[in-house]
Chains A and B, each alone.
Chain A
Amino acid sequence: KAGVTQTPRYLIKTRGQQVTLSCSPISGHRSVSWYQQTPGQGLQFLFEYFSETQRNKGNFPGRFSGRQFSNSRSEMNVSTLELGDSALYLCASSLDSADTQYFGPGTRLTVL
């Protein structure tokens, strides 16, 4: 079974731009969660989607948003990028919210 895939793997953007990251979960998994990893704050939960609905949300500003499609693929969008948004963004999928989460390789976003 293929694992979680994330595209693109690397992104460079400038302040003020917006960016969209994509995540394809393991086949059959309906829950997709997003995490931000930075050296200063560590791993922080962004949000979780299940069956196209946001189930859970972390403490991030409204510039961070996401969505999930009927095939369980998910995208996250960050608008008006700031330097502090530079991070590794990790996507994880699971059968349901309470099940074990399996992570993708991440997207490394650099904001200049």
Chain B
Amino acid sequence: AQSVTQLDSQVPVFEEAPVELRCNYSSSVSVYLFWYVQYPNQGLQLLLKYLSGSTLVKGINGFEAEFNKSQTSFHLRKPSVHISDTAEYFCAVSDLDSSYKLIFGSGTRLLVRP
């Protein structure tokens, strides 16, 4: 069964510094990959998605992610973070075997300090 690993439960970073949030998934078959962000007391907002094509995906708020099939990874990056980026970030995968339900990682809390 498909699974998603987000190794870092929390990532502290200073404002204007770059950040990378790591995500690995278990299966190398054809998958769709997503990053969602959750602000306090809110639902999930889609940041970006990889369905096919270019392995570098650009999303909202200056975030981007790179799909690496050989390493089964989909790491999220931002070159310069803002205080407002403080939130919980979830990586998710879906595929045909799971009937396209989203399987989420445990989340990474990004804490941006001034």
The stretch of B11-19, B39-47, B67-75, B79-87 that contacts the partner chain:
B39-47
Complex Cα spacing A104 to B104, Å: 16
Q: How many residues of A contact B (CB 8 A)?
A: 23
A58 at the interface (CB under 8 A from B): yes
A49 at the interface (CB under 8 A from B): no
Size band of the interface chain B makes with A: 20 to 34
Within 8 A of A (CB), among B79-114: 90, 92, 94, 96, 99-107
Main secondary structure on A side of the interface with B = strand
CB of A94, distance to nearest CB on chain B (Å): 9
Please determine whether B100 and A90 come into contact, CB atoms closer than 8 angstroms: no
Please determine whether B102 and A45 come into contact, CB atoms closer than 8 angstroms: yes
With beta carbons under 8 angstroms apart, the residue of B42, B46, B100, B106 that contacts A98 is B100
Also in contact, A103 and B43, with CB within 8 A (given A48-B99, A56-B99): yes
Please determine whether A103 and B45 come into contact, CB atoms closer than 8 angstroms: yes
Complex Cα spacing A100 to B43, Å: 15
With beta carbons under 8 angstroms apart, the residue of B34, B96, B99, B104 that contacts A100 is B34
Produce 1/0 per residue, A59-79, CB < 8 A to B.
000000000000000000000
Complex Cα spacing A42 to B106, Å: 6
Residues of B within 8 A of A98 (CB): 32, 94, 96, 100
Also in contact, A97 and B43, with CB within 8 A (given A43-B90, A103-B36): no
Residues of A within 8 A of B42 (CB): 105-106
Please determine whether B100 and A100 come into contact, CB atoms closer than 8 angstroms: no
Please determine whether A103 and B101 come into contact, CB atoms closer than 8 angstroms: no
Give 23 A-B contacts (CB < 8 Å), ordered by A residue.
A6-B43, A33-B101, A33-B102, A42-B106, A43-B102, A45-B101, A56-B99, A56-B100, A56-B101, A58-B101, A90-B43, A92-B44, A92-B102, A97-B99, A98-B94, A100-B46, A103-B36, A103-B43, A103-B45, A103-B46, A104-B43, A105-B42, A106-B43
7 closest A-B pairs (Cβ-Cβ)? A43-B104, A103-B44, A103-B43, A105-B43, A45-B101, A56-B99, A97-B100
